Amino acid sequence: MTAESASTVKVIIDVMLKAEILDPQGQAIANALPRMGFSFSPVSTRQGKRFELTFEHEPTDKEIAEIKKAAETLLANPVIEIFEIRMER
Amino acid sequence: MSLDTVGVAAKSPAQTQPWRELGLKEDEYQRIREILGRRPSSSELAMYSVMWSEHCSYKSSKVHLRQFGEKAPATDVLLVGIGENAGVVDVGQGYAVTFKVESHNHPSFIEPYQGAATGVGGIVRDILTMGARPIAILDPLRFGPADAPDTKRVLPGIVAGIGGYGNCIGVPTIGGEVVFDETYAGNPLVNALCIGVMRHNQIKLAKASGTGNLVVLFGAKTGGDGIGGVSVLASETFGSSKPAKRPAVQVGDPFTEKVLIECCLEIFAEDLVIGIQDLGGAGLSCATSELASAGAGGMLIQLDKVPLRDANLSPEEILMSESQERMCAVVSPEKISRFLEICKKWEVVSTVIGEVTDGKHLVITWNGEIIVDVPPRTVAHDGPVYNRPIKRPAEQDALISNTTKSLAVPKSGSEFRQILLDLMASPNLADKSWITSQYDRYVQGNTISASPSDASIVRLDEETFLGVAVSTDANGRWCRLDPYTGTQLALAEAFRNVAASGAKPLAITNCLNFGSPEDPGVMWQFSESVRALADGALEMGLPVTGGNVSFYNQTGSVAILPTPVIGVLGVIDDVRHAIPLAYKKAGLELILLGETWEDFDGGEWAHLQKHLGGLPPQVNLKHEMRLGKLMSDARDQIVAAHDLSDGGLAVSITEMALASKIGAKVNIPENHFVHLFSETPGRILIAIESDQVDNFVGRAIDCEITTTKLGKTGGDEINFENLFSISIAEMREINSATLPRLFG
Amino acid sequence: MRVGVVTFPGTLDDFDAARAVRFAGGESVSLWHGDEDLAKVDAVILPGGFSYGDYLRCGAIARFAPVMSSIIEGAKNGLPVLGICNGFQILCESHLLPGALTRNKGLHFYCKDQELEILNNTTLWTNNFKVGEKIVIPLKNGEGSFQCDDKTLAELEGEGRIIAKYMGENPNGSRNAIAGIANAAGNVVGIMPHPEHAIDSLTGPSTDGLAFFTSVLKKMVNA
C-alpha cells in the first residue's frame, strides 16, 4: 500500500451482477460458508467487483461525470451489471 | 539501511552475515569467501545462496546424473543434449523438437492453483527459450488418497491452475497421469512436460558472447514474487504442521506469457538474438550468471535499470525475485532497435540492463556502485558437489520377502467380476474426464490423440502429416520394492505406450521425485534409479536429453515412494496412420501380444488390499524393443491397440471397450486369475481384421513375440466367457462416478 | 473471397480460424487489433481465445480496439462478421449483438465435444446447414453462459435469431440453452462453441464446423 497524504481522495466503484443474473461464484461461496462451520446464514450471497481510483485532489464535477461514463462503458457491462460510485476521504 | 557494496564488503571482513537463514551451510559460506578473497556483499550472498540451493545446483544429484552423459548411446538424432534449458532432437524433414519435464511440487502444496500454474509457465518458457513454439503440455500428477481432506484441498486447485494457465496461453494439455497413493499425502507431485517445435536452424542457446552486445530483460515487471522461493521451499521439507511459508509462492499471469510467446517467436524469426535464457528458479541471479558462464565470462549489469512493480525492493530482493514471465536476451547493437520495436508491438516491457564485456567477471551495479563482482561459473556451475552417503535400507529385505503370495487368491467368476469393478471404480483407474475436461485439447488444431490414450500425439506438418508422440510413466510402488527394476519398468512402459501408438521412440526426459538426499536410504533409491535409467537408455539406444530432480519430497522423516517419472518422445511419419485406442467396429479379432507370468507384487490388485511387498516383475528391454518393432512393422494392419499395465488384461480390455463404446467377447486362458489381473510388462492388446491375423502372427513370430487369440469385438457387454460378464453401460456408470463424487 | 481474421493480444484460435477459411476454399487475411484498416476483406472473423487475458470481463477491453471501430461500421453496412467464443463475447460487449456471456454455471472451464441443433439457416454464416440439423463441435470455455433480459429473449425467439441451441444437458447454464445468435440483418453471428476445430476428422470430432465457413463463401460468390 502506498502512503497516502491527507488530500487523497478515493473514488470507489462497486460493480455487482444484476439481481436476476445467475451468480455461480456467489453460490459457491454460499455453499462453502456452512461447510467451514460458520453459523450465520444470509438469505443471499453474491460476489462483485470493486474498483479504486485514487486522486491527490478533490475530483471536479467534470471528472466525476467522466468517471461515471467510464463506469458505464468499461468498468461495468450494463447488460448484466449495476454499479454504484462513492468517495472515500 | 546503507548499501552493502563490494567495496564495503572488502573493508569489513568480520561482519556477520545471515548465510544460515538463506539456506547455506557453513562450509559453503567459507568456500564463497575463498572464491572471492573477501566476504561476499549481501547481494552476492543472495546470489550464491539461491544458485547453490539443491533445486538450482543439483549438488546431491550431479555425481549420479553424470551417467546420462557417460553411458549415452550413440545417436544421430540428438541436436542439443543435457546442459541447456531443454534437449532437442531431430525428427526429420528439417524439424527439431524440444521437450522436457519439470516439477513444481512444494509450491503446489502451499498454493495449489498458483503453484501448478507457475509450474506450467516455467516449463513452457524453458521450451520457448530454445527457439521453439510450445505445442503441447502433459501433466503427470500424484496425490494422496482421493478421499482425504487435503486431497480435496489441493487437487481441484492444481487442476484449475494447470487449465487456467495452459488454456490461456493457447497450448493444448493433452496427456499426463493422475495417481492417488497414501505416500503423496502432504507431498503432491505436480510435474509438467512441454513439447516445442522449430526448424533446425532456429535452435537458440543460452550464451552471452561478443563484447559490446547488449543484455535485455523483457516480459513482466519484477516484483516480490517468490523471494527466496527456491532455496527456502524446494530445499527444505515440511514440518508436520501446515507450512507458513505462504508469501514465497509466485503468481503467474498467463496473458503476459502468451504475448511473450508471440513476441519471442517474431524475434526469433528475424534472428535478432545471440543468446536467450528464461528466468525461472533464482530469477536474475540464474539468468545472468548462466548467460555469462556460457560465454567468455564477462558481463556488466545495471540492476537499477530493471523495471519494477514494487519500487521498495532492495537489490538483494531484485536478484532473488522469481516474478514470472520474464526472459533475458543478448542482442547486438545493430539489432536492438528492431528487437525493442517488436516488444513494443506486443506491449511487452523491455529494457536494456547491461552488456557483454571483455572481462572474466559478472559485475552488477546499483546506481553506479558495484554490489556484485564474481566469476560467473562459480555461481552457476561450480556449486558444491556432494557425494551423499548411500545405504540400502535395513527393512528392504523384509519388504521383499512379504510377497502377494500371502494374499488369498480369488477363484470364482463372481469374485473376478467384483475385482474388476473395484479396480475400475478405484480412483487410479476411474474415468478422468472431471480433470481432463478442464483442459483445452483443441487449440492450435494439431491434436491427433489426447487422454484417454496410450500416448499423446501432435501433428507437426499439415502437408506431410509428420507428428510426435509422447508418454510419461512412473510406478512408485515398484520402485520402492526395487528402484533399479522399477525405474526400467517405467522406461519400458513409456516406450511401449509410444510404440503402441505407431510411433518410433527417439529420446527420454525424466523428472526424479524423491525424498531427502540427506537420508542414505533415499540416496540409495536415487542412485539405483539413475543407474537404471542410464543403463536402460543405453540398451534401448535412446538418449536422455535432460530433465529435473526434485528432492525433499517428504513430511518429517517419511519420504515419498521413490517416483522417477520417465517421458519418452517418439516420431510418427504420418499421423493419419497412428494407432488409436478405440477399435470402432465389431467383428475384429482381439490378440494379446507377449507372455503373462504371475506378477502381482506392487500392483493394483495388491494396492486395493493395501499390500506393498515382494518384487516388481522382471524387465526385458530387448523384448520391449522387439515388441515396438512389431507394432511399427505391422502398423497398417493394426486397427487399435492398448498397452497392458495397472490391473492387467481385464482392465485393458475394459478400457478399450469403454473407449470404443463396443463390447468384446473373450476367452481367457488358465490360470484365469493370473491372466486377468497380473501386471507382467511387455504386453499389448491389439484389434485386427480377421483376414490379417495369419500374416500378423507370422510377423510376430519373426519378432519373437508370442500371440494369444482372445476373442472378438462386438456386442454391448464385456464378456469373459465362462467366467463373468458386465454390460458397457454398467461399467461406464461405475467407472465415471468416482471423481465427480469425490470432487464435485 | 477474402476473410479477415483478427488478432488481439491474447487471441488463441486465430490460426485455426484461418485454417478453416482455407479448408473452405477462401483466402484468410490476418488483421491486427491496432490497425483500423480492414484490407478490403469480404468478411471478418473474431476468433476464440483470451483477449487481454479476459481481464475485467471477457472482451471488455478488446471491443475498444481500433480495428473494432471499422468492424462495427462495416457490420452496420452488411459486412459479414462471425464471433467465435471470445469473439462472441466481444460482439456482445460492443453491442453488435444483444445479451452477455457470463461465468459457466458449474464454475469450471469445460472442454467437450458438444452436440448442437441448428435453428436458423438464413444468416450469412449458417445458410449451408439444414434447419434442425444436429452437429457436434468442440465447446471450450469458462464464461459461456448466455444471458439476456426477457424482452431480448422474446425478440431473439420471435425473430428466429437464435442460430443454435445446446442439445442434451445444458453445459453452462445458457438461457434457453442458447449456443449462438444473429443480429436482425443476419450478417453478424456469435457462436460459443468452436466450428474451426471441427473441420477435419483427423484433429476434431467431426467436419460439421466447416459449413459455417462455406456458408459465407457461398454467399459471397452469389452476392
Between positions 105 and 134 of C, the ones with CB within 8 A of B are 108-112
Chain A contact for C106 (CB, 8 A cutoff): yes
Model pLDDT, residue A73: 92
Is B611 a known active-site residue? Answer: no
Distance between CA atoms of B508 and B484, rounded to whole angstroms? 17
**Chain C (33-62) residues lying within 8 Å, Cβ to Cβ, of chain B:** 49-50, 52-55
Helices of type H across chain A: 24-35, 61-70
Q: Inspect the interface and report whether the beta carbons of C12 and B438 lie closer than 8 Å.
A: no
CA angle in degrees (0–180, nearest 5) for B561-B452-B512: 25
Instruction: Please identify, in words, the CATH class of the domain defined by A9-88.
Output: alpha beta
Residues in chain B closer than 8 A to C203 (CB atoms): 442, 445-448, 459
Q: Give tens-digit pLDDT for B17-37.
A: 989 988 899 999 999 999 999
Q: Where are the alpha helices (DSSP H) in B541-634?
A: 604-608, 621-633
The sheet with strand C81-84 has its strands ordered as C27-32, C2-7, C43-46, C81-84, C188-191, C178-182, C162-166, C110-118, C134-141
| Alpha-carbon gap, residue C121 to C130, rounded angstroms | 6
Residues within 8 A of B (CB atoms), C 166-205 only: 194, 196-197, 202-204
- Check B104, B106, B642, B672 and give the catalytic one: B104
Q: Residue B431's pLDDT is what?
A: 98
| CA atoms within a 13 Å half-sphere pointing along the CA-CB vector of A8 | 10
Helix axes B648-660, B728-743, angle to 10 degrees: 90
Q: Which three cell numbers stand for residue C7?
A: 488478432
C100–chain A nearest CA distance, Å: 7
Query: H or E segment at B319?
Result: helix B315-320
Nearest CA in chain B to C108: B438
Supply the pLDDT for residue B240. Answer: 36
Reading the block at residue B468, the C-alpha cell is 510426435
Q: A75 — contact with chain C (CB < 8 Å)? A: yes
Buried b (16+ CB within 10 A) or exposed e, B242-253: eeebeebbbebb
Q: pLDDT at position B313, please?
A: 86
Domains defined for chain B, CATH in brackets: 1-65+204-383 (3.90.650.10), 71-195+446-576 (3.30.1330.10), 406-444+579-744 (3.90.650.10)
What residues of chain C, 165 to 204, have a C-beta less than 8 Å from chain A? 173
Give the count of domains, chain C. Answer: 1
Minimum distance, in Å, between the CA of residue A78 and any CA atom of chain C? 10
Residue of B nearest to C53 (CA): B255
Is A54 an interface residue toward C (CB < 8 Å)?
no
Q: What gap in Å lies between CA B494 and CA B510, rounded to an integer?
A: 11
In chain B (744 residues long), the average pLDDT of successive 10-residue segments reads: 87 91 91 96 92 92 95 94 92 97 94 95 97 98 96 96 97 97 96 97 89 96 74 46 47 94 98 94 91 90 94 87 94 98 96 96 96 96 94 97 96 97 98 98 98 97 98 98 98 98 97 97 98 98 96 93 98 97 97 98 96 98 98 96 97 98 97 97 98 97 97 97 96 98 94
Q: Do C147 and A21 touch (CB under 8 A)?
A: yes
Average pLDDT, chain C: 96
CB B58 within 8 A of CB B82: no
CB atoms A17 and C99 under 8 Å = no
Nearest Cα residue in chain C from B580? C202
pLDDT computed for residue B242 by the predictor: 33
Do the chains contact at C145 and A22, CB–CB below 8 Å?
yes
- Please state, in angstroms and rounded to a whole number, the distance separating the CA atoms of residues B575 and A28: 43
Contact (CB<8Å) C107/A74: no
Residues of B in contact with C197 (CB under 8 A): 442, 445
| Residue-number span of the structural domain to which C136 is assigned | 2-222
ipTM of predicted assembly, 2 dp:
0.96
- Is B356 within 8 Å of B212 (Cβ atoms)? yes
pLDDT value for A81: 92
Put simply, the answer to whether C52 touches B167 (Cβ < 8 Å) is no
CB pair distance less than 8 Å for A79 and C99 = yes
Instruction: Enumerate the active-site residues of C.
Output: 85, 194, 196
Helix axes B728-743, B413-425, angle to 10 degrees: 40
Residue B378 CA to residue A60 CA, distance in Å, equals 60
Residue among B283, B270, B290 at smallest CA distance from B343: B270
Q: What is the pLDDT of residue B241?
A: 38
In the numeric block, which cell numbers belong to residue C154?
422474446
pLDDT of A4: 53
Q: CB-CB: which of A21, A28, A75 is closest to C102? A: A21
Instruction: Tell me the CATH number at C139.
Output: 3.40.50.880
Tell which residue, C64, C21, C68, has the closest CA to residue C199. C21
B523 vs A20, B6, B586, CA distance in Å?
A: 61, 39, 51
Using the Cβ of A74 and the Cβ atoms of chain C, whether some distance falls under 8 Å is answered with: yes
Contacts of B258 in chain C (CB under 8 A): 9-10, 12, 50, 53
**Best residue in C22, C109, C199 to probe B by mutation, most B CBs within 10 Å?**
C109
Residue B238 DSSP label: B
